[in-house]
Structure 1
Amino acid sequence: MKSILLIIIYTTILFKVAAQNNITTDEWKKDISFLAKQMPLKHINLFKKTAKTEFELKTKQLINSIDTTFNKNKVIVEIAKIISSIKDGHSYLDDYYPLLKFKFSTFPFRLHEYKDGIYIQATHYSFKQHLGAKVLSINGININKCSHIVSSMFPIENKWGEKLLSKYGLTSPEVLNAFHITNNNRITYEIELNKKKTFLTLSPSDKVQQPSESFGIVTDKEWASANSFTNTPLPLYLTNLNKLYWYSYDFSTKTMYVQFNLVNNSENQNLLDFFDEVISKASAFKIKKFILDLRLNIGGETKFINPIVEKLSKSKAINKSKTFYVLISRRTFSSAQLISYGLKNKSKAIFVGEPTSINSHFFANSRKNIELPNSGLKISLSTREWKATEENQKCQYPDYLIEETFKDYQLNIDTTLNKALSDQ
């Protein structure tokens, strides 16, 4: 019985893939027209950040421009651009949103933007000789300009969201082709490694599947990271990427470190029970520093927000000036940002790190509420608005801005945590 069920599922998947590859120009146009009509009905407030006339013009222009020269990937990118034009970090084209899943292939390296530029942070082992190279351009176009160009397909609300998401597009041959950064089968990256500039030319045959990752960090066994070849130990935030949350205590400095990676229950422990345990230990240990690390946390269940904020704010051991520190970054998103803002409003916490990647007034609670009739593409749209502050802010800005350099990452120096630990 199980074998029959698996065959049915597999056959259904193959049928859907084949159908998507054989969609006609008219069918794509009908899908986009359907999308344009459904988005205002399904989204809680589609035209808050984008004018209705602008949205309608973009969809009409796309419908009129599609012809037989548009391949499937080009149309998918254009549909993603339409959805992203509403500037809502929680509304996206399913399977093409890097925070959850990015179905396009990648060249055998992953980029990251640091304070001093965009670098190859991780590679497939067959490509590791290029680890740590700084990327200067793609096909002669400045890398920062390329980053901005491809960012239009991602649901971005501020420049930190662009830093976070656009790098996925810069290594995808499908994306680069769709944006005409390349118009042929050869893609040339200008890179600098060990103070020597060189050119790296790739073709679609060099592409691989996206590597497995945990909380945005590449953990694939067939890949290597630029910080793997140093004698220094990994920073704390990279040591337990298989856990949703955990804590450690340094008896010599009386410092408790809590890494909180997802706002949800783990398989082994209820989230609120975890924080009860943390607060109890903090009181028993008579801590001098309490570090809550939200840097890898992209959110989760909203029902936990207020209880966590209340528990930490009411703890006499934790909620003290120069004791309580919260680490945030461009990945601190959604429910995690609401927790961070809640602590900013109700506690004495000091915030260290990067600004967050969404506005303080944002839409969320996404639902898969549109399926395009011909392609079968699914779109998730926000169904609720959240306001973490009275007046909308572009992001949550830290008290201490710490921007990591590539050298910091390569040598496993956690400048953000170090600032919190050294602050007096």
Structure 2
Amino acid sequence: MKKLFFLAAFLLLWQLPAQQKISSTQWQEDLRFLQETVHKDYSFLFKKVTAAAFDEAVEEFHKEIPQMQDHEVLVGFGRIIGMFKYGHTSVSFSESPVTYHKLPLNLYQFPDGLYITGAYKDYASLVGAKITAIEGMPTKEALKAIYPVVPVENEQFFKAYAGLYMVIPEVLHAQGITETLKQNISLSLEKDGKSFNSVVNSDGNLDTPVQYGELKPESDWVGVRDQSQNPLYLKNLDKIYYYEYLPEQKAVYVRHSQIQDDPSENIPSFYKRLFEFIDSNDVERLILDVRLNGGGNNYKNKPIVTGIIEHPKINQIGKFFVIIGRRTFSACQNLVNELDNYTNAIFVGEPTGENINFYGDNRRVELPNSKMPVYLSFAWWQDKPQWENGEYTVPHLAVESTFAEYSANEDPVLETALSFSSDNFIIDPMGYLTQLFMDEKYELLATEAQRLGKDPTYKFFNFEAEFNKAGYQMMNAGQLEGAVFVFDMNTKLFPESANAWDSLAEGYWKSGDLVKAKEYYNKAISLDPNGPTGDNARRMLSEMEGEH
């Protein structure tokens, strides 16, 4: 059986190694070894980055190594591997010969900013503060600076794990956030309506005591929440899964946070007991919460999926809800895909931290001189056809917790599932809009597209990309008039999108209206003068002029 051991491998990054001196020449040799290994044995990983772009980055890094300090080399390897953009493909900081340090803080990105949700007791006064700048650099810019180092599967993955890198002074220096390598980091903070600065000292001997990203109750660490009043998804974190009956809502809540057997009860036994309870009690709704679930062994998903299918009592739209989020990853993405394929689940929360189809299961590749391991994925997992692949699974009901809600132990995600009403709910927005088009209800289509696009319920649904894809499908099928209609509607919905205007221009070009095609290609160029869409529009204009 194949297992997706993402969490164990990823979290090893943060155990501190012993220092061992490696020469610049040896680092360069290790880089060449890595480059050759990727081309020879892992060339299939060139999906999100081209081999040419990878080699160009390697050459640049190779030239820079002699002028780099060891920690800059380590982070440089992180950037190289980060180009593949698969979370299972990463550099192990912990097993490298380079010493690094950590600020004793636990961070989390909320919709309203980056907050300190926990800290070592010496910095208890900082808990609950919003970080507005690091060493004078605004937080958004600092996050952008460290982005290339994180093995980013998608934006959700970055939200989940960027905090692990933001507290490492060596990363902050290598990515230009601090001018020199320093262990005392200045933070600009906001708390209780006041702005202030604080200097936090890193200590290589302090490991943040977390489980599923949440601070454990420890005497030397302070968290922002009252952990005696945990919401359901943060209760019983010593168990991989548990369930609780909510009689007022006639609902059963299940938190399942690894695709592994709990030592006290394996997955088949747990779900057998769960479904027996549902059969024997007044249950109208089942909520399966996998927002903290980073994966495990996807062969263990079967009893969950088949159990839902076998219970029509809850396998109905409006009766079965799955809570997903930024930490939903790896084997749990497989579970989400299977539930999406075979059940009537309504997904609630944030998008997942994993691509729908993805490279998982990695192999350890040890670099010859430094002995630093690099983990390279080799197994392609595809639960859905390639045209249904995407950056992540999008929730049908978009809900994010703010810092205020989190710190008060409120759970708006669960509340949304419990209070769901089917009134005016559209589980498949594009299917609904497509049917309006097929029924030639063009005015209603335009108004409904505007309404759904502004509805926060669908905030993670990429209407622009879906309309663009639909337009090209029609154009490729020779339905030029319909394609132009869809492209034109997209420009009305997203007037600042260069890509929408570029597509409309192509639609008019294919339809023979060169005047409008030229006008809209120039519009695309004006919106993206130095970017790839603008470059494409210029090429298309040149090609048009060559034809005529």
What TM-score comes out, normalization by structure 2 length? 0.70
Quote the residue 1:401 is aligned against: 398
Quote the residue 1:74 is aligned against: 72
Shift of 1:375: 0.8
Structure 1 residues 44, 33: closer, same or farther in 2, change over 3 A?
A: closer
Structure 1 CA distance for aligned equivalents of residues 319 and 163 of structure 2? 36
Decide which of 273, 280, 297 is 1:277's aligned counterpart.
Answer: 273
Structure 2 CA distance for aligned equivalents of residues 360 and 416 of structure 1? 22
The residue correspondences of 1:182-331 to structure 2 (distance < 5 A) are 182-184=178-180, 185=182, 186-204=184-202, 209-219=206-216, 221=218, 222-228=220-226, 233-331=229-327
Shift of 1:328: 0.4
Structure 2 CA distance for aligned equivalents of residues 133 and 208 of structure 1? 24
Structure 2 CA distance for aligned equivalents of residues 236 and 362 of structure 1? 30
Amino acid at match of 1:147: L
Quote the residue 1:140 is aligned against: 136
The residue correspondences of 1:16-35 to structure 2 (distance < 5 A) are 21-35=20-34
Amino acid at match of 1:76: L
What TM-score comes out, normalization by structure 1 length? 0.89
Structure 2 CA distance for aligned equivalents of residues 128 and 225 of structure 1? 8
Identity of aligned residues (%): 30
Q: Which runs of 4 or more aligned residues in structure 1 lie more than 6 Å from their structure 2 counterparts after TM superposition?
A: none
Structure 1 CA distance for aligned equivalents of residues 275 and 166 of structure 2? 43
The residue correspondences of 1:114-129 to structure 2 (distance < 5 A) are 114-129=110-125
* Structure 1 residues 118-144: Cα deviation after superposition (integer angstroms, max 9, x where no partner): 111111122111111111111221101
* Structure 1 residues 16-38: Cα deviation after superposition (integer angstroms, max 9, x where no partner): 966x5211111111111111111
Quote the residue 2:416 is aligned against: 419
Number of aligned residues:
399
Q: Any gaps of 5 or more consecutive residues in structure 1?
A: 1-15, 98-102
Residues 105 and 208, structure 2, Cα contact 8 Å, conserved in 1:
no
Shift of 1:150: 0.7
Residues 151 and 165, structure 1, Cα contact 8 Å, conserved in 2:
no
Quote the residue 2:541 is aligned against: none
Shift of 1:207: 5.8
Shift of 1:108: 1.8
Decide which of 57, 64, 84 is 2:82's aligned counterpart.
Answer: 84
Residues 363 and 384, structure 1, Cα contact 8 Å, conserved in 2:
yes
Quote the residue 1:372 is aligned against: 367
Shift of 1:388: 3.1
Structure 1 CA distance for aligned equivalents of residues 204 and 363 of structure 2? 32
Residues 371 and 379, structure 1, Cα contact 8 Å, conserved in 2:
yes
Shift of 1:95: 4.5
* Structure 1 residues 237-271: Cα deviation after superposition (integer angstroms, max 9, x where no partner): 11111111111112343211111010011212221
Q: State whether structure 2 residue 396 is matched by structure 1 residue 386.
A: no
Residues 100 and 204, structure 2, Cα contact 8 Å, conserved in 1:
no
More deviation, 88-97/44-53: 88-97
Residues 44 and 383, structure 1, Cα contact 8 Å, conserved in 2:
no
Structure ranking higher in strand proportion: 1
Q: State whether structure 2 residue 47 is matched by structure 1 residue 48.
A: yes
More deviation, 413-422/304-313: 304-313
Residues 44 and 385, structure 1, Cα contact 8 Å, conserved in 2:
no
Amino acid at match of 1:413: E
Structure 2 CA distance for aligned equivalents of residues 74 and 359 of structure 1? 29
Amino acid at match of 2:34: L
Structure 1 residues 234, 17: closer, same or farther in 2, change over 3 A?
A: closer
Structure 1 CA distance for aligned equivalents of residues 89 and 217 of structure 2? 28
Shift of 1:44: 6.5
Quote the residue 1:59 is aligned against: 58
Structure ranking higher in helix proportion: 2
3-state SS in 2 of match to 1:366? strand
Quote the residue 1:6 is aligned against: none
Amino acid at match of 2:209: S
Residues 255 and 288, structure 1, Cα contact 8 Å, conserved in 2:
yes
Amino acid at match of 1:31: D
Structure 1 residues 213, 166: closer, same or farther in 2, change over 3 A?
A: same
3-state SS in 1 of match to 2:380? strand
Residues 271 and 303, structure 2, Cα contact 8 Å, conserved in 1:
no
Query: Does 1 or 2 have the higher relative contact order (CA < 8 Å, sep 6+)?
Result: 1
Instruction: Give the root-mean-square deviation of aligned CA atoms.
Output: 2.1
Residues 145 and 176, structure 2, Cα contact 8 Å, conserved in 1:
no
Residues 214 and 241, structure 1, Cα contact 8 Å, conserved in 2:
yes
Shift of 1:416: 0.3
Structure 1 CA distance for aligned equivalents of residues 49 and 355 of structure 2? 15
